[in-house]
Amino acid sequence: MAEHDIPRATAKRLPIYYRYLKLLLDAGTTRVSSNELSDAVKFDAATIRRDFSYFGALGKRGYGYDVKALMTFFGEILNQDTLASVALVGVGNLGQALLNFNFHQSSNARISAAFDINEDIVNTIQAGVPVYSLDDLEKQISDQRIDVAILTVPAPVAQDLANRLAKAGVHGILNFTPLRLDVPSDVRVQNVDLTNELQTLLYFINNFGGAEA
């Protein structure tokens, strides 16, 4: 992502805006208002206008936003023209699901290498992605210039693998394990705890009904 002094919450909403704008453009829509965006992405219009304001004057009062121009702008912010190679570490059930998801069909990222200890799948192609032995982790990370890794391994080995990934040159880890990783300051970790998300959803359903949290 390009350098902009924006809140983390705003940064997390940018891909959502980009995907919806692409849908609008594909449907032939040329302009959109913040209220129309609000109805689609379920963020209030004031939040959308505030998010956009961090990047200057993106729209015109009484006109709204030019869909193509706005999508192009956010595409540049999100580096959509640059395809990022991603490593998947752990090809169990969740790992297989992520391979089958094919990130490259809907974003600027693709899983280009996977790693596992299961000899039945090492040196095979799974969902179009080569699976390497964990012994080859550092070499493949370096050879393929991989900067981001997805970690879907058992918690007891997560920290050791995070250490190896950091030493190999990875600067971002999408962590699906329940363990909170200790990594160098130049490595960013995004934690995805599916159990926690489900428990949070159940809490809100039980206590606040069906409204979005």
Q: Is 93 annotated for ligand binding?
A: yes
Tell me how far apart the alpha carbons of residues 175 and 90 are, in angstroms, rounded to a whole number.
11
Tell me how far apart the alpha carbons of residues 48 and 45 are, in angstroms, rounded to a whole number.
5
Name the 3-class secondary structure at 145: coil
Tell me how far apart the alpha carbons of residues 124 and 117 are, in angstroms, rounded to a whole number.
12
Per DSSP (E only), the strands in 106-205 are 109-116, 125-126, 129-133, 148-151, 172-175, 188-191
Q: Is 56 annotated for ligand binding?
A: no
Tell me how far apart the alpha carbons of residues 173 and 103 are, in angstroms, rounded to a whole number.
15
The DSSP call for residue 181 is P
Q: Is 210 annotated for ligand binding?
A: no
Q: Is 90 annotated for ligand binding?
A: yes
Name the 3-class secondary structure at 3: coil
Q: Which residues pair with 110 in a beta bridge?
A: 85
Q: Is 41 annotated for ligand binding?
A: no
Q: How far is CA 141 from the centre of its chain?
A: 19
Q: Is 94 annotated for ligand binding?
A: yes
What the block records as the tokens of 105 is 């069909």
Binding residues: 90-95
Q: Could you tell me which residues are annotated as the binding site for NAD(+)?
A: 90-95
